[in-house]
A and B are shown apart, each in its own frame.
Chain A
């Protein structure tokens, strides 16, 4: 049975290491750890899902539309937090689909001063042009415990 957890000194570094199942923590290579406190342990400190702009029948002029999301007190005042964001749309019939990777709209985002800023930019005029078809432009995101 392989050793899986190591606490204390590993080489010249102190920390905590836990290997992936089947790997010996004492000998495994980088990338075969579940936890390696000597590198990065990406943990989520906040997750959310926000509506940025509602696209309905009416024309939406080309431009940038945004929302702000207050982050937890644990990261109050912090900027440039590591994060991931998934840009997606929800049609009025409930169907969810990724906003096309390459499309007339795109997502940009940032964290500054403990606030998450989410923007959707329309390269050209938007609007469904149809009374009973609407799209919510949304972003699902995870803020990690790390800064750049």
Chain B
């Protein structure tokens, strides 16, 4: 671990993984656990399970609307981009609505196909990640 001058005029903190020399590894190396010169490292500010149709779930207010990801969980398996095929249509069954301080998962509905007649995601849990990026 080094804190202070990191070379190239930059100051900060750098931590290496076991077996890697913090002073020798190049910038961006997989052997570095943490480097304050990196502005985005995929940090997650909130994660867990949220219920579709269960209303918004709050997290500490941020200065931007963050990027989020949801995966449907049926209690056993996680599903990513699993579209519903029915009535000669196809659709993603749920959408996460984001603000700078909340995430809410709602069923995808529209005026032309009653989607919930074929697959109703309300009550289903979704694994969500809210990234410190946006």
Contact = CB atoms under 8 A, between A and B. Distances in A.
Note whether A and B contact each other (Cβ less than 8 A): yes
Contacts of B78: 83, 85, 108-110
Contacts of B37: 21
Contacts of B59: 30
Contacts, number: 107
Interface stretch (A35-43, A50-58, A126-134): A35-43
B12 interface: yes
- What is the interface residue range for chain A against chain B? 35 or more
A5 interface: yes
B50 to A, nearest CB: 10
B114 interface: no
B38 A34 contact: yes
A5 B90 contact: no
Contacts of B81: 87, 101-102, 106
A24 interface: no
Nearest to B64: A31
Interface string A97-120: 000011000111110000001010
Nearest to A87: B80
A4 to B, nearest CB: 6
A136 interface: no
Given A84-B69, A108-B77, A34 B41 contact: yes
B132 interface: yes
A4 B12 contact: yes
B39 A20 contact: yes
Contacts of B63: 29, 31-32
5 contacts: A4-B36, A18-B34, A21-B39, A32-B63, A42-B43
Interface of B: 3, 12-13, 33-34, 36-49, 59-64, 66, 69, 73, 76-83, 85, 90, 92, 127, 129, 132, 134
